[in-house]
Amino acid sequence: MSTQPSFQALKLIENYKFSFYDALIINAALNSKCHILLSEDMQHGQLIENNLQIVNPFFNVIGYI
């Protein structure tokens, strides 16, 4: 197991103020070349590293506008 993902996650924490576990999830998505990450807990519409967008799958369902 490499320590590189942990260091990359720490950089995300520093730049975006994510929790450690959210940063690990986001880092895994970035390393997997994902463009969309579904999460009801993170900020809907946030763009990470100009490549990954956070999307709340319940955004329209629960009346966020």
What span, in angstroms and rounded, lies between the C-alpha atoms of 52 and 10?
17
Structural contact between residues 56 and 39, judged by C-beta atoms closer than 8 angstroms: yes
pLDDT tens, position by position, 5-48: 789 999 999 999 999 999 999 999 999 999 999 999 999 999 99
Q: Is 47 helix (H, G, I), strand (E, B) or coil?
A: strand
Domain contains 65: no
Domain contains 8: yes
Tell me which of 34-38, 48-52, 59-63 is least confident. 59-63
Give the pLDDT of residue 63: 56
Q: How many domains does the chain have?
A: 1
- What sections of 1-65 are H helices per DSSP? 4-16, 20-31
**In the predicted model, is pLDDT for residue 61 greater than 70?**
no
Task: Report the DSSP pairing between strands 47-48 and 52-55.
Answer: antiparallel
Query: Which domain range does residue 28 map to?
Result: 4-55
Give the pLDDT of residue 5: 74
Give the pLDDT of residue 50: 96
Domain contains 62: no
